[in-house]
Amino acid sequence: MSSPAQRTGIANLPLHYGKAPPWLFERMRRLAREIVIVVVGEFGREEMLRRLADPFWFQALGCVLGYDWHSSGVTTTVCGALKEATRGLQNELGFFVAGGKGRTSRKTPSEIEAFGHLLKVNPSPLVYASRMSAKVDNSALQDGYQLYHHSFFFTRDGSWTVVQQGMNQSNRYARRYHWLGEKVTDFVCEPEAAICSQARGETLNLVASESTQARSTIAHIAAEEKPDRIVRELNRLKTLSLPRRPHITLEDIRPDRLSRMLATAYEHQPQDFESLLGLEGVGAKTLRALSLISDLVYDTPVSIRDPATYSFAHGGKDGHPYPVDRETYDSSIQFLAQAVSKAKIGYHEKLEAFRRLKAW
């Protein structure tokens, strides 16, 4: 069973390596601590989640904290600063941060469960939300960006937000994905808003609304078709002269290697696409193979629409590549300015934060 979910945004950033210097990260942590205290105290925990799920506000927060606005590191470093900033305050604030970069991201479920005694809800739906948001952006949405960062923000009452990031080694960009666990109950048919990116391309998008029929077909194939029959079908397709499908081909699909995963799916008899996606081991290649059969055998193609739009960070005053969203910019600046103004930090730190916010 799914928890409410809403993917609210995607942002593309140049892929930068390295770490924030200790002197900068410590200042980021202190300022982030004050901002979280003010926002949670003045506007509530749910509003803090909504703000983190807003790519504009998140980017502005990175600038205020003193990090490079256009670097991929803004995601990992800001999330890390927020995690350290709330350490020791979780019970007081009722606001929690789990996950992080690389190996730390895989500890997210255990970190969520470790806070179970401080929650008013069962942590299991939160663990499910964390796992499924990662599976969707890594396997059901195949846009060429491999996830390497996953931060999960949640409250004592069970509300949550995800900020995760993937990298593309070919174009050397990172793409950030924002989720908001509010109002929407379907993980695999996402309502998208404020989705930002550096560029767009053809994407195997199994969570697009246009892929609704394909999702049903894929789940049916996995549950009803015996694995050996699917493998035979894939092998047959490899010998045919097929129409060009730039978004999905048989080149990297090894039918025989998929047998075990297909057998697992068949044994579990998934009732729908979300159940199939939730099975351990079902990943990008399995879904590509089933998508190809759905397209070529059942004549039910999947969407190739990239859900990302151009990055807000590159909007220009002359309208290229698109006009600056002034209303959203102003709203983010005003909200953060109010939080910084009320933060209990030194005059110098507060002045520098205002300068960075103004420059952004």
Q: What is the pLDDT of residues 28-81, one digit of tens each?
A: 888 888 899 989 998 999 999 999 998 878 888 888 887 554 555 788 889 999
Question: Buried b / exposed e across 234-270, counting CB within 10 Å, b at 16+?
Answer: beebeeeeeeebebbebeebebeebeebbebbbebeb
* Residues of the chain under the 50 pLDDT cut: 1-3, 69, 191, 193-194, 246, 312-322
Report the pLDDT value the prediction gives residue 351, as an integer from 0 to 100. Answer: 67
Q: Which residues contact 354 (CB under 8 A, 6 or more apart)?
A: 337, 340
pLDDT at 55: 82
What pLDDT is stored for residue 63 in this prediction? 80
CA separation for the pair 259, 285 (Å, rounded): 12
Tell me, what's the pLDDT at 248?
58
The answer to whether residues 214 and 305 touch, using CB atoms and an 8 Å cutoff, is: no
pLDDT of the residue at 1: 40
CB 147 within 8 A of CB 137: yes
The pLDDT assigned to 341 comes to 79
DSSP letter for 11, please. E
Strands laid side by side in the 95-101 sheet: 7-14, 173-180, 160-168, 146-155, 95-101
Q: Taking a C-beta distance cutoff of 8 angstroms, is the pair 162, 177 a contact?
A: yes
Vertex 161 angle, CA 46 and 59, to 5°: 95
Give the list of residues 6+ apart from residue 257 with CB closer than 8 angstroms, or none. none
pTM: 0.83
pLDDT of residue 312: 44
pLDDT tens digit string along 279-303? 998 999 899 889 988 988 889 999 9
Maximum Cα–Cα distance across the chain:
71
- Which amino acid, one-letter code, is at 202? E
Beta strands in 132-198 (DSSP E): 141-142, 146-155, 160-168, 173-180, 196-197
